[in-house]
Amino acid sequence: MDAIECIRTRKSIRGFKPDPVSTEILKKVIEAAQWSPSYKNSQPWEIIVLSGGKKEGLTQILIDLFGRDTPPCPDIPEPGSWPDRENKHIADLYRKRAKVSGIDLGDPEVLKKAKIANFNFYRAPHVIYLFQEASLPLWSLFDLGLFAQSLMLSAHAHGLGTVPQAFATDYARDIKKFLGIPETKRLVLGISIGYPDPESPANSFRTDRAEMGDIARWVE
């Protein structure tokens, strides 16, 4: 698949086959992502690839915390409100998803189930946690985003599925403690990764994008 096809056909995968991905393939995916650009080539990204019993252990911790109504405390706070433009895109997504799959993310009960599915990493065999030193500038967060996209595209090119998950960082302190990540680091994102399950209804959903006229102006 060429680069354009890879970018255009990647989508978030929320249903995985249980089969683990070989370490050899995971290493190839990660190695390619390391070629992402970064401010002054600072490469401000660190990752942990979590699998097997340890991953199950973390899921249990997250579900226990959630079950006890522990308030989420991610290192990057969940946005409270959005400007009108972005809010409209989010509302469009919620509306389309409710129509196509009956899943209404505006419903608190549905959101609760969605959180648990996130903490289960959508049953993916692996989750990759992305983090960096918290004292790094805002540019480094930008760079980590570039790395995340490269990782997901590289995974897609290898026939793997991924989903980036801010929710997977909800209990950042506990996650960092469990994974031995120092307190000085900020936990930015979890990316579940594995082979997509083509039978999963969650994977039949495709998000839309705005018309180009809504995002671009041509100035001469």
Ligand X SMILES: Cc1cc2nc3c(=O)[nH]c(=O)nc-3n(C[C@H](O)[C@H](O)[C@H](O)COP(=O)(O)O)c2cc1C
Residue 54 makes CB contacts below 8 A (sequence gap 6+) with none
Interacting span for ligand X (CB under 6 A) from 8-16, 34-42, 67-75, 179-187: 8-16
Q: How far is the CB of 194 from ligand X (least distance, A)?
A: 14
Distance of closest approach, residue 11 Cβ to ligand X, in angstroms:
4
H helix runs in the chain, sequence order: 3-9, 23-33, 52-67, 84-101, 108-119, 138-157, 172-179, 212-215
Q: At closest approach, how far in Å is the CB of 164 from ligand X?
A: 4
23 binds ligand X (CB under 6 A): no
Among 6, 11, 28, 120, binds ligand X (CB under 6 A): 11
| Least distance between ligand X and beta carbon 118 (Å) | 5
x/- map, 97-136, ligand X, by CB under 6 A: ---------------------x------------------
Q: How would you list the strands of the sheet with 126-133, edge to edge? A: 46-51, 126-133, 185-194, 161-165
| C-alpha angle 111-132-63 in degrees, rounded to nearest 5 | 30
CA distance 206 to 12: 9
Positions in the binding site for ligand X (CB under 6 A): 11-12, 14, 93, 118, 163-167, 189, 207
